[in-house]
Amino acid sequence: MISYGEGVALGASLVWASTSLVLRTLSQHQPSALITAIRCGISGPFFWMLLPFGPPLSTLVNVPLHEWGLLIGSVFIGIVIGDQLYLHAMKEIGVSRTMALVGTLPITTLIWEQLLLDVPVTHTFIFGCVLAASGVILLSQRPRQNRKDAQEPPIRLKRGIAFALITSLLWGLSTTMLKPAMAHLTSIQANSVRMPLVALALFGIWRLNQGRGNLRDIGWRTFILIAITGLLGMGFGSFFYVEAVLFIGPAKTATLTTATPVLALILAVIFLKEQITLRLLTGVALCVTGVLLVL
């Protein structure tokens, strides 16, 4: 039987896979930092409205300062620093190579969990993490389309690889920090703080990079689509993810959410008619096997 924590982790994967189909189109026309800022900004009030239905707000006074520090630190380490390094890595070595290296997230999260939380782990669990990470690496690969791609200018491999691997380490650390940060917080309380912080940080980054960019450049239809994906992905998806970290730990959550690209691929094949290749099938098999071993 799948436990509650495992179920919500897989639920987060399903929600993120569904919203990724819409975001794939939107990201081609709008800056990713702005899209994420809007999505988090929409989900913030969603969690605020849920606060009265949980423990009394007065309980927030009992949360120690170091736990607030861990919660806020996880946001800035994972989103503000990690996401920016991720974008820089893509500029240096391309999307496929970056996603392949960042696909080591289950392994880096497992390492951080062992170093900081000293959680007992089995050989089967480690093997499942490795298989799931290998599956993500395969799924992120895309074959070259023509000879023109093979004649791309030299890329700064060392710098790009370093950025991507550091991103994986920071995201793993950010996920691991959530566990002790929520000793006295519910998932709704944690996300009611995390989402507005992410929105403000990414909006500030977008303004610095965009210069004179204007929010009015986004049409109402696009804004509504972004808002819906924000409510689903950053609202329900983030709630499921934080719940999973709380109940089953960072490493297991990171491994189970590797089902996201698998589910996204299945949805893309159904709705976008994407081509199935042997590499994709192998990647799916590895991810599914890894997830089953971790369950």
Residue 80, pLDDT above cutoff 90? no
Average pLDDT, the chain: 85
Whole-model pTM: value is 0.86
CA 114, CA 239: separation in Å to the nearest integer?
24
Instruction: Give yes or no for a contact between 133 and 289, defined as CB atoms under 8 angstroms apart.
Output: no
pLDDT score at 34: 83
Write the DSSP string, 168-223.
HHHHHHHHHHHHHHTTT--HHHHHHHHHHHHHHHHHHHHHHHHSS--GGGS-HHHH
CA 144, CA 165: separation in Å to the nearest integer?
23
Write the DSSP string, 234-286.
IIIIHHHHHHHHHHH-HHHHHHHTTHHHHHHHHHHHHHS-PPP-HHHHHHHHH
Question: pLDDT tens-digit profile of 228-281?
Answer: 999 999 999 999 999 999 999 999 999 999 888 888 888 877 877 777 788 888
Greater confidence, 275 or 152? 275
CA 267, CA 270: separation in Å to the nearest integer?
5
If you average pLDDT over residues 123-144, what whole number do you get? Answer: 85
pLDDT score at 151: 44
Residue 212, pLDDT above cutoff 60? no
Best CA proximity match to 138, nearest among 295, 32, 290, 23: 290
Residues contacting residue 274 through CB under 8 Å, at least 6 positions apart: 265, 268
Confidence of residue 86 (pLDDT cuts 50, 70, 90): confident
CA 224, CA 103: separation in Å to the nearest integer?
31
pLDDT score at 210: 66
Residue 87, pLDDT above cutoff 90? no
CA 33, CA 202: separation in Å to the nearest integer?
6
Confidence of residue 290 (pLDDT cuts 50, 70, 90): very high
